[in-house]
Amino acid sequence: MKTNDLILQTITKIAIFIILAFSLHLFFAGHYTPGGGFIGGLMTAAALVLLLLAFDAKTVKKIFPFDFIKVAALGLLIAVLTGMGAFLFDVPFLTHTFGYFDIPILGHTGLATAVLFDIGVYLVVIGVTMTIIQTIGEDE
């Protein structure tokens, strides 16, 4: 018997963008308001999980054709590299800096290298969560 998930799928199509936008907001606002790489990553993963529930694993793979283990690895690599980037400026590992720039559309914005590190965290969390869920989900 095939069930009809029309309502769920339609709502998902709308909700997923809201969730993704919220997760990106959480991530980018992390330096000033509650949020950050960890929660942002979990929230993004939650959006993917919703997609997984409403559709199926194949659809999710078609939309996001990533190997999530590699995503986690990439995140770790970014985190390590941002730490090592400090060496170029002859300062200790994981030393961060920040500055204020005038960017055309965003205006006067504070940019911190810590955000680069946070991207690493973000990617690792997405990769790890999705790997776990996909692995367990596909196991029968």
| Shortest CB 104 distance to another protein, Å | 21
Q: How far apart are CA 117 and CA 122, in angstroms?
A: 9
Site for another protein contains 132 (CB under 8 A): yes
Contacts of 10 (CB under 8 A, 6+ apart): none
Site for another protein contains 19 (CB under 8 A): no
Site for another protein contains 135 (CB under 8 A): yes
Helix ranges (H only) for the chain are 6-28, 37-54, 57-63, 68-88, 114-138
Q: In what helix (H) or strand (E) does residue 108 lie, and over which residues does it extend?
A: strand 107-112
Report the 10 Å Cβ neighbour count for 45. 22
The answer to whether the CB of 113 falls within 8 A of the CB of 93 is: no
Q: Which is nearer to another protein, 59 or 97 (CB)?
A: 97
Residues 75-104 that bind another protein (CB under 8 A): 75-76, 79-80, 83, 93-94, 96, 98-99
Binding residue (CB under 8 A) for another protein from 35, 47, 48, 51? 35
Residues found near another protein in the complex (CB under 8 A): 26, 30-39, 42-43, 46, 69, 72-73, 75-76, 79-80, 83, 93-94, 96, 98-99, 110, 112, 114, 117-118, 120-121, 124-125, 127-129, 131-132, 135-136, 139
